Every structure is written in structure tokens, then in C-alpha cells.
């Protein structure tokens, strides 16, 4: 079996993405991890990703071992390359949440088992899988649907926009000046088959959209910029509130990877309101992780 990693969602083809989502819904799942481990390294905090991935491993018969980056001394006590080589001797899969995307790339240089990016500064592919699973369950086939992202063109946006394109969705993003996606990313989305529009006007992005999504204004690692970002995003009117949701298409749903900051990127009336799928989305992190693990371990259906 060819060794596969998932550092970004477009490491999957469109067919493979659909297969991962199908595998996420297989109940009861096979137990290919019986007697095997999955090593999970976290350089940053996590509630959903750690719990969802650990429990997905348990459901597949395996044993998760979660480690804080400082506990194993990632790139201090030991290089990421050496750690990945060592963990490959114990585990069937390695997951890593890292600051620099290059760290998880370096782990693939020496790992002899699949490596999964559990969030880096540029990507959050396992979140995108859960988001697409949630949308597919709620909306049915995703081809032709419109995703509107309102906010920072961050790791979550990058992965979700690539995944949405692979699923046949159109993508629109509104960000304040200076916080939008680069042309390189837009080209990458287009290369995956997605029509993508970038604007600075939230109303333009959400018009007629089936899905409105956002995320925090300052991601982990950007704490020093938080005040400036809050001023830039709030000043430009980037809170997803009821008025903005009303400008989206009929029946539009709201997604947020969480944790959410009510009153900043999203109003409480939206994240806690009837259009919000965030709790299902969070629960789906586990199902999507299970589908991904099954895929990486060689399951095809
Ligand atoms: N959405 C998400 O990745 O949550 P955690 O940071 O809690 O894992
Ligand atoms: N963009 C956020 C997502 C957290 C799940 C971050 O990187 O902090």
C-alpha cells in the first residue's frame, strides 16, 4: 500500500474526498487499529481535535497517545524528523498540530506511517473534512452550492475553500483590506475546479450563499496582533450577525470551527441561532477523523 499523508485537504482527489466522507458514515466501522496506536503531538492547545481524533482511534480499536509539543521537546530535545521516525515504530498513524506548516512537512520526510496535519499556520484539513461532512448531511450533494467566508483568509479558510472546490462548490470570501487570500491560493482553489471570488464587502460575499462561515480574527500564534486585528475587523463591520445571514440565500446555514468569540467574528444570535450547525460540525470532527483514518489505513468503502 502506498504511504499517504494528509497535510492539506487537496492531498486527496475529489473522489478520495467523497470516499473519506462515505467512510465517516460507516456504522459500525471496521477495527483496523486493534492492538495498534496513533501518536498525536500538539504544539498548540486543542479541545475538539484532540478529543475527536482520540475517540475516532478508540472506535477503530486502537489506542491514542497524545503528547504536548513541549513534553516531547519537539525541535528542542529532539528534531521533528527524529520524533516522526521514532513514533513510526510504535504507531499506525501520526497526527501533529504545529505552528509552522514546515514542521509537519518535515515529519513526512522520515515517517514510515501516514502523517496527518491536525492544524498548522496554513491549513486545518481535518476541520474541512468535518465541515464538508456536515454540509453534505444537511444540504445533500454539494456540487453547485455556494460557500461564503466572512473574515480572515486563515488556515481554516484555506482548507475549507480547497475542500469546497473539490466538492464542486463555489467560494466567495470577504476580508478586510490586507487580510484576504493571496492570488496563489485563489489559483490553487481554481485548479481544484472551484470558482472563487475575493472581495472586501461581506454583503457581496454572502449574497445568495448556501453557507456562511467564519473563524476568529486572531489565530493561535497571532496573540500579539489580536488588538490590531480586532480594530481592523470590527471597524470594517466583519461580525456575522443576523442582518448578514438574512442577506444570504434562503435556508443558509452557519459554520464555525470553534472556539467562537461571541460579539467579535460572530454575534451570539447567529452562532446560537437556528441557522447554526456548529454543534453538529464539532461532533462531526470525530466521524470525519474516523473516515480519514480508515482511508489512510487502506479502506476503500
Ligand atoms: N476546531 C478546532 O480545531 O478546535 P480545537 O482547537 O479545540 O481542536
Ligand atoms: N484559525 C484558528 C482555528 C482554531 C481551531 C487558529 O488557528 O487558532
CB 69 within 8 A of CB 42: yes
Classify the C-alpha dihedral 102-288-46-165 as positive or negative.
positive
Q: How far, in Å, from the CA of 156 to the mean position of ligand 2?
A: 7
Q: How far, in Å, from the CA of 119 to the mean position of ligand 1?
A: 8
Which ligand has an atom closest to residue 53 CA? 1
Cell output for 154 = 486563515
CA of 221, closest atom in ligand 2: 8
Q: How far, in Å, from the CA of 1 to the mean position of ligand 1?
A: 31
The model's confidence at residue 164, banded by pLDDT at 50, 70 and 90, is: very high
Cell output for 38 = 496513533
Could you identify the residue written with the cell 468569540? 261
- Tell me the mean pLDDT in the region 91-95: 98
CA of 215, closest atom in ligand 2: 1
Q: Residue 158 and residue 164: Cα distance in Å, rounded?
A: 10
Closest C-alpha to ligand 2, atom 6: 219
Question: Among residues of the chain, what percentage have pLDDT more than 70?
Answer: 100
Catalytic residues: 97, 124, 127, 215, 257, 285
Edge to edge, what strands does the sheet with 37-42 contain? 63-68, 37-42, 91-97, 115-117
- Model confidence pLDDT, tens digit, residues 170-196: 999 999 999 999 999 999 999 999 899
Q: Is the CB of 282 under 6 A from ligand 2?
A: no
pLDDT for the residue 300: 80
Q: Is the CB of 130 under 6 A from ligand 2?
A: no
Cell output for 57 = 482511534
Which ligand has an atom closest to residue 127 CA? 1
What are the distances in angstroms from CA 54 to CA 71, 83, 84, 269?
18, 19, 18, 32
pTM: 0.98
Q: Residue 56 and residue 230: Cα distance in Å, rounded?
A: 35
Q: How far, in Å, from the CA of 78 to the mean position of ligand 2?
A: 26
Cell output for 255 = 459554520
- Tell me the mean pLDDT in the region 265-288: 98
* Best residue for ligand 1 mutational test, from 126, 257, 282 (most atoms within 8 Å of Cβ): 257
278-296 vs 14-24: helix crossing angle, rounded to 10? 110
Q: Specify the 3-state DSSP secondary structure of 283.
A: helix
Q: Is the CB of 216 under 6 A from ligand 2?
A: yes
Q: Is the CB of 97 under 6 A from ligand 1?
A: no
- Catalogue the E-assigned strands of the chain: 37-42, 63-68, 91-97, 115-117, 146-150, 170-174, 196-199, 211-214, 253-256
Cell output for 21 = 466522507
Q: How far, in Å, from the CA of 34 to the mean position of ligand 2?
A: 32
Q: Could you write out the DSSP letters of every residue in 152-195?
A: ---HHHHHHHHHHHHTT-EEEEE--TTSS--HHHHHHHHHTT--
- Model confidence pLDDT, tens digit, residues 48-68: 999 999 999 999 999 999 999
Domain annotation for the chain: domains and CATH numbers = 31-123 (3.40.50.1370), 127-281 (3.40.50.1370)
The model's confidence at residue 75, banded by pLDDT at 50, 70 and 90, is: very high
pLDDT for the residue 1: 77
Closest C-alpha to ligand 1, atom 6: 46
* Best residue for ligand 2 mutational test, from 49, 175, 215 (most atoms within 8 Å of Cβ): 215
Q: Is the CB of 214 under 6 A from ligand 2?
A: no
The model's confidence at residue 123, banded by pLDDT at 50, 70 and 90, is: very high
Q: Residue 173 and residue 163: Cα distance in Å, rounded?
A: 14
Q: Could you write out the DSSP letters of every residue in 47-68?
A: SHHHHHHHHHHHHTT-EEEEEE
CB 210 within 8 A of CB 145: yes
Question: Among residues of the chain, what percentage have pLDDT more than 90?
Answer: 98
pLDDT for the residue 153: 98
Which ligand has an atom closest to residue 155 CA? 2
Amino acid at each position: 500500500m502506498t504511504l499517504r499523508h494528509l497535510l492539506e485537504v487537496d492531498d486527496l482527489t475529489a473522489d478520495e474526498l467523497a470516499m473519506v466522507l462515505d467512510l465517516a458514515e460507516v456504522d459500525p466501522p471496521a477495527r483496523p487499529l486493534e492492538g495498534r496506536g496513533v501518536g498525536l503531538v500538539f504544539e498548540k492547545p486543542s479541545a475538539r481535535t484532540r478529543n475527536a481524533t482520540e475517540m475516532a482511534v478508540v472506535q477503530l480499536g486502537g489506542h491514542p497517545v497524545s503528547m504536548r509539543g513541549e513534553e516531547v521537546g519537539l525541535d528542542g530535545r529532539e528534531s521533528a524528523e527524529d520524533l516522526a521516525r521514532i513514533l513510526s515504530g510504535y504507531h499506525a498513524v501520526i497526527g501533529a498540530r504545529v505552528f509552522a506548516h514546515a514542521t509537519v512537512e518535515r515529519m513526512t520526510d522520515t515517517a514510515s506511517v501516514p502523517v496527518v496535519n491536525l492544524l498548522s499556520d496554513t491549513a486545518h484539513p481535518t476541520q474541512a473534512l468535518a465541515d464538508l461532512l456536515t454540509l453534505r448531511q444537511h444540504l445533500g450533494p454539494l456540487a453547485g452550492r455556494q460557500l461564503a467566508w466572512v473574515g480572515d483568509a486563515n488556515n481554516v479558510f484555506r482548507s475549507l475553500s480547497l475542500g469546497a472546490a473539490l466538492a464542486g462548490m463555489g467560494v466567495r470570501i470577504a476580508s478586510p483590506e490586507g487580510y484576504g487570500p493571496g492570488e496563489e491560493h485563489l489559483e490553487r482553489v481554481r485548479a481544484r475546479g472551484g470558482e472563487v471570488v475575493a472581495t472586501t464587502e461581506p454583503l457581496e460575499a454572502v449574497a445568495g450563499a448556501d453557507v456562511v462561515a467564519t473563524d476568529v480574527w486572531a489565530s493561535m500564534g497571532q496573540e500579539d496582533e489580536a488588538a490590531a486585528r480586532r480594530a481592523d475587523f470590527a471597524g470594517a463591520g466583519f461580525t456575522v450577525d443576523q442582518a448578514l445571514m438574512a442577506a444570504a440565500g434562503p435556508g443558509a446555514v452557519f459554520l464555525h470551527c470553534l472556539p467562537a468569540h461571541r460579539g467579535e467574528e460572530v454575534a451570539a444570535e447567529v452562532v446560537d441561532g437556528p441557522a447554526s450547525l456548529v454543534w453538529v460540525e464539532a461532533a462531526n470532527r470525530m466521524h470525519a477523523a474516523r473516515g480519514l483514518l480508515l482511508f489512510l489505513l487502506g479502506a476503500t468503502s
